[in-house]
Amino acid sequence: IQPNVNDEFQAEIPQPFQKVHNKYIYLDHAKSVNWFGAVESCHRINGHLINLQSIEDLERLQTLLNKSYDYWTDLNNLVDLKVFYSLTTGSKGNLLNEPSHDGGNKDNLCGLLRYDNNTKKFKLLKQNCSSTKGRPICETTRPTTIQVLVW
């Protein structure tokens, strides 16, 4: 790197998102909607429902969430009732594909975060996508950093 050349990417966080670790998220506390409404709400602000890839992702969110509300994630079984996929990536959802005790589930289910008074933490649950209400947690991948190597 040449002297006086800035190698830091400085981008503004897109509104109304806030940076939480390596994600840009927006918690919509104003309205409670079904999963499809949550997807639409996020799309309107150039985002998508949050893609939780690990327990660590969930733990980073805990302090921002209101215990009185339920929150939608992008996980769903709309394609195959036995497997949960991320709407964002199309990949299998790590957090909801544990051995199931649903026993012959015939409903489309989606990933909902709900506060558990016993554990004092939010848990990811499988809930009916159409009839259950929750608030969207939107995520955006912008701003994006790219690296260019010049020889």
Whether pLDDT at 118 is above 80:
yes
Q: What is the pLDDT of residue 15?
A: 80
Question: What are the pLDDT digits (tens) for 85-98?
Answer: 999 999 888 777 65
* Domain spans of the chain, in order of start: 18-140
d(CA 74, CA 39): 8
d(CA 99, CA 101): 7
Cα–Cα separations (whole angstroms), residue 83 to 32, 44, 77: 26, 28, 6
pLDDT band at residue 53 under the 50/70/90 scheme? confident
Q: What is the pLDDT of residue 101?
A: 46
Supply the pTM of this predicted model: 0.81
CATH class of 18-140: alpha beta
Mean of all residue pLDDT scores within the chain: 85
